[in-house]
Amino acid sequence: MQLVKPKALRHGDAISVIAPAGPVVRERIEKAFERLRSLGYRVKTHGDVFRACGYLAGDDSTRAAELMAAFADPESTAVWCARGGYGVARILDRLDYDIVKRHPKVFVGFSDVTALHLAIQNRTGLVTFHGPNLQDGFGAAEGMSSTTEAALWRMIALEQQNSTAKQLDLDADQTAQVEKIVANRQVEIVSIRRRFQPEILQQLNSVRDEIAAVLTEPQREKWTKLFGQFQQRWLPPAPPASN
């Protein structure tokens, strides 16, 4: 099946929020809503996102209907899950995947929502994003880490995707080459980062040099200045100081 890429988010776009699994904590979701609005996005719901029905955020038919309403909504560019937990498997056979296919959108969530990612891609080919549910990301007490947030917005928001290209004044061919370099090296770097191995700096410097090779001299000078910001996105956090 051919992959379908959704349109990236732009400032001012509407994000539909759904609760397809367990019930949410109101304070945490309201905090997440405030964060999204502060970033310039509008928040939409298609029912009572704070509803609770035992260990579920509503009965199966209601949760399925709200998910379909979110994808069918002509104003929304994205569908973002409020929480995982349990319950997604109960609604998979109640969904109209033709609606998803006709209205491809950025879809974000994790945990129990993984079942939705698999079902949607299998039935529609839509590329979805395994990222933090709102309650566990922007709604968490400590918020979302800067590294995670930067990586998330780079994947789903047009402004972030284009920021490096704009700053370096890249043409279309250069942009494609830089995106290919980053995509090819991303998995390797993340794997090293998770193990906190020192060779991550060597790998990042290698990426720096690969990108520099496709730039003009003036662009290389800008890239040298920007590289520190780029590098910080990938470096692991410093270990806590010992007492």
Please report the pLDDT score of residue 186 as a whole number: 62
Query: For 71-80, what is each residue's pLDDT tens digit?
Result: 999 999 999 9
pTM above 0.85? no
Q: Which fold has domain 14-145?
A: Rossmann fold (3.40.50)
HEC string of 181-206? HHHHHHHHHHHHHHHCCCCHHHHHHH
Query: For 118-173, what is each residue's pLDDT tens digit?
Result: 999 999 999 999 999 999 999 999 888 877 887 888 889 876 656 677 778 888 88
Distance CA 48, CA 200 (A): 45
pLDDT at 236 over 80: no
Query: For 14-49, what is each residue's pLDDT tens digit?
Result: 999 999 999 999 999 999 999 999 989 999 999 999
Neighbours of 118 (CB within 10 A): 12
Distance set, CA 87 to CA 130, 144, 208, 213 (Å): 17, 25, 44, 50
Q: Integer distance in angstroms from the first to the last C-alpha of the chain?
A: 55
Please report the pLDDT score of residue 226 as a whole number: 80
Neighbours of 164 (CB within 10 A): 20
Q: Compute, in degrees rounded to 10, the torsion defined by CA atoms 45, 106, 186, 239.
A: 0
Amino acid (one-letter) located at 237: P
Query: For 188-225, what is each residue's pLDDT tens digit?
Result: 665 565 555 567 778 788 888 998 999 999 999 888 88
What are the start-end ranges of the E strands in 53-156? 76-81, 106-109, 129-130
Distance CA 71, CA 31 (A): 24
Burial class (CB in 10 A: 0-12, 13-18, 19+), 23: buried
Tokens at residue 15, please? 């994000």
Can you name the residues that pair with 80 across neighbouring β-strands? 17, 108
Please report the pLDDT score of residue 198 as a whole number: 65
